[in-house]
Structure 1
């Protein structure tokens, strides 16, 4: 378990990177598993951030980490869109007729 707020951001970044690797490999089950880990870490971060604060240097590192997470997220979305569209078509018979 992370000790400091910045450790949570690092752990979220790591999970985000693992999600990206899974998406690149088209391993959607693995991607979803890491997405769940991210969600847990984010909730823990929200709770801890109510009582802890970061210094200037830590906030700067947090910004760099968040930028990397956002880049990972953007690439994950691009990779996952076709999979999600296919999944949506499978679940909605009306869409199958249109295509």
Structure 2
């Protein structure tokens, strides 16, 4: 089962990389799509990890994968900040409507 868990981490990293590629292409719909895929994978991983632990060699690999995911996330945030500022500016002065 440890191999299955590490496969989830690899799939999350892959979606994270695709999110970064979409952000680099200013494909914000793509970013949202891959973010949704990451969220599903994370929930599946949480469920499966409740009953199983990673082997020591997989824990080391997990650490490396998580570092790459965090770097991707930081780069995505840097790319998204100007877009978010522009998006917020579009709604400046608009009343906040809650449903």
- Whether TM exceeds 0.5 here: the answer is yes
1:85 Cα shift?
Answer: 1.1
Q: State the TM-score, normalized to the length of structure 2.
A: 0.89
Number of equivalences: 92
SS at match of 1:93: coil
CA distance in 1, matches of 2:17, 2:66: 12
Deviating beyond 4 angstroms after TM superposition, the runs of 4 or more aligned structure 1 residues are: none
Deviates more, 1:80-89 or 1:62-71: 80-89
CA distance in 2, matches of 1:83, 1:58: 37
CA distance in 1, matches of 2:91, 2:45: 34
Give the alignment of 1:1-99 within 5 angstroms: 4-93=4-93
The answer for unaligned runs of 5 or more in structure 2 is: 95-99
The answer for unaligned runs of 5 or more in structure 1 is: 95-99
Q: State the TM-score, normalized to the length of structure 1.
A: 0.89
SS at match of 1:83: helix
1:45-82 residue CA offsets vs partner (Å, 9 max, x unmatched): 11111011111000000000000000000000000001
